[in-house]
Amino acid sequence: MFTAIRIPAARTLPFAGRRAFSDYSPFGRLATSPAKPAKVAVLGATGGIGQPLSLLMKLNPLVTDLALYDIRGARGVAVDLSHINTNSTVKGYAAGEEGLKATLQGADIVLIPAGVPRKPGMTRDDLFNTNASIVRDLAKAAAQYSPEANMLIISNPVNSTVPIVSEVFKARNVYNPKRLFGVTTLDVVRASRFISEVKGTDPAHHNITVAGGHSGLTIVPLLSEKYPEIVGETRDALVKRIQFGGDEVVNAKESMGSATLSMAYAGARMANSLLRARAGESGISEPAFVESPLYKAAGVDFFASEVELGPEGVKEIHALPKTNEYENELLATALQDLKANIKKGIDFTKSNP
């Protein structure tokens, strides 16, 4: 039985007094030294998400070894980042088996933002055929060279790519559901920002549960728990904006890319929370798309909700807060879509091992 427990959020930022630049980072004020050595690997390090994500990882004081991989340009990005005066080493590796092996061996966290970005008119599912193959191949390498790492999947569609990684790891007998995460942190980041705009407040004050998955109608903001006063057209518009915030960015960039900077921030925050939990800090929770018991009875094996993190990855999956009728309808739609998304990923892996 999973009981909803409210845990102090890892994302809470200080908002009293004057803020330093680092107060806005996903890891807060810089520490003077790391708690323990940690290697982070970024697969897809030269892309629109990969470069700013790698930069944030270079700035993180908990990272001692940063390894970058991509089909081209990883060495150049690594040299560029290596000039930053933080106490970590950065190495970039060329495409191929040897490069993947060097990148992944000894990694504590593997971030996968690799893949093609969305363009106007494209859904995350439109990306599936290309990104599914990329994620499958990278997962094969990770299963061989870093099977005990925490795997953070950013490549879209997350609802399908996470099951792909799970099937690849299962086929090689190294699957650990506590170590596999679909990064849905961006949905909560957007929600806190968008709510602050509605209420005219500081986003640091807002922390809500966003459940389900990481695309369109599978994204379910549970506003009623903390904001029962937001109703009617205001609520409907806010929910839609949170669900389709990615489209807002794609359209604004006019075919020049998708949500890269905000996604890099969200990925860095998730990685930092895992690093903190790995170092022994308690009470850290983040939203994540993980293998979950919450809706297994409905045939949905993966679900995004608040997850407490520990040294082994997932420590506890918390039940959803109390929901109202409006949110129950959103969840019903999300579950239907999620079931199809998850099946799509599993079927792809079985057909394309």
145-163 pLDDT tens trace:
999 999 999 999 999 999 9
CA dist., res. 323 & res. 331, Å (int): 10
Helix residue ranges per DSSP H, 204-313:
232-243, 245-252, 261-278
- Give the model confidence (pLDDT) of 300-324 as tens digits: 999 999 999 999 999 999 999 999 9
Compute CA distances 84 → 30, 81, 99, whole Å.
14, 6, 23
Give me the half-sphere count of Cα atoms (radius 13 Å) on the Cβ side of residue 166.
25
Query: Which token pair is 333?
Result: 């739609």
Q: Catalytic residue numbers?
A: 214
In sign, the C-alpha dihedral spanning 281, 287, 288, 289 is positive
Instruction: Say if residue 70 carries a ligand binding annotation.
Output: yes
Reported residue count of the chain is 353
Phi, psi of 227 (to 5 degrees): -130, 60
137 annotated as belonging to a binding site for a ligand: no
User: Is 171 annotated to bind ligand?
Assistant: no
Residue 118: pLDDT band with limits 50, 70, 90: low
Domain boundaries, given as residue ranges, for the chain: 1-353
Q: Is 10 among the annotated ligand-binding positions?
A: no
Using CA atoms, how far residue 248 sits from 131, 216, 251, 346, in Å, is 22, 12, 5, 30
Q: In this predicted structure, what is the pLDDT of residue 122?
A: 67
Let me know: does 31 contact 62? Beta carbons within 8 Å.
Answer: yes
CATH number listed for the domain at residues 1-353? 3.40.50.720
* Residue 172 labeled ligand binder: no
Cβ–Cβ < 8 Å for 183, 288? yes
Q: Which pLDDT tens digit goes with each residue over 163-203?
A: 999 999 999 999 999 999 999 999 999 999 999 999 999 99
